[in-house]
Amino acid sequence: MPDPAPNLTLYHYWRSSCSWRVRWALAIKGVEYQSVPVNILSGEHRQPEYLAKNPSGFLPALAMNGRCYGESLALIDWLEETYPDPPLYPAQPEARLRIRQLALTIATGTQPLQNPSLLQHFVAAEGERQGHMQHFIKRGLSIYETLLAQGRPGLYSEGDRVTVADLCLIPQVYNALRFAVSLEATPLVQAIYQRCRLLPECRQADPEAHQPKTP
């Protein structure tokens, strides 16, 4: 008999790009989970209680069967293997390669360069931080746009089904707009963003749906 579905607890921050990716994957898969917000602004992710769950201090983390795991793409791959329908990757190896290249362009080459801990360490003046973020966001989205043009975009980054690439792209574009980065130079990216934000699973996972309620 197959193993019973684990009880899942997601530790996440409402505006975290990586958290949004995993929330969206859970929504697409229709997987239920307990939601535990972790407040980055107050430093909850650096407290011993959270570090015992995820030693990196990063978000999100997913707890199951008495153990907690981090790294958004690793969590999404686990979800894909555990709940394969609907798929977040196509069957064709070359298409899967294109999707992984797109996803990693954002997940390793763009988003980490905007991490608050990196900015505090390398960009001392707060007034210079937005310029730093804009530079790397523009660069990352430009690369993504070029890869899209070379690939097989449709309604989404690869054809007409949402894939892991879109799960990485949309939170990054959301941040681009937050930091006043124009999308005029990346029309394919802009169109995919607009389509994805209309999807019920994306709306279920997006930051506004998880923003803490103020008294």
- Between 117 and 41, the higher pLDDT residue: 41
Domain boundary among 59, 85, 111: 85
Phi then psi dihedrals of residue 12, to 5 deg = -155, 165
Q: What percent of the chain has pLDDT over 90?
A: 79
Supply the pTM of this predicted model: 0.91
> Given pLDDT bands bounded at 50, 70 and 90, which one contains residue 215?
very low
Tell me whether residue 2 is in a domain: no
Q: What is the mean pLDDT of residues 24-38?
A: 97
For residue 191, what pLDDT is reported?
A: 98
The pLDDT, as a whole number, for residue 117 is 64
Domain range holding 124?
93-202
b/e sequence 94-112, b meaning 16+ C-beta within 10 Å: ebeebbbebbebbbeebbe
Residue 15: predicted pLDDT: 93
Residues 76, 36 share a domain: yes
Burial category of 124 from C-beta neighbours within 10 Å (exposed 0-12, middle 13-18, buried 19 and up): exposed
> Among 57, 85, 113, where does a domain finish?
85
Domain count for the chain, please give it.
2
pLDDT of residue 48: 95
158 shares a domain with 123: yes
Q: For position 116, what pLDDT does the model report? A: 67
Is 169 among the domain residues?
yes
Domain CATH code at residue 59: 3.40.30.10
Same domain, yes or no: 112 and 181: yes
Burial pattern 144-170, b for ≥16 Cβ within 10 A else e, equals bbebbeebebeebbbeeebbbbbbbbb
The 10s digit of each residue's pLDDT in 61-95 is 999 988 999 999 999 999 999 999 999 999 999 99
pLDDT at 10 over 50: yes
Mean pLDDT score, 175-182: 93
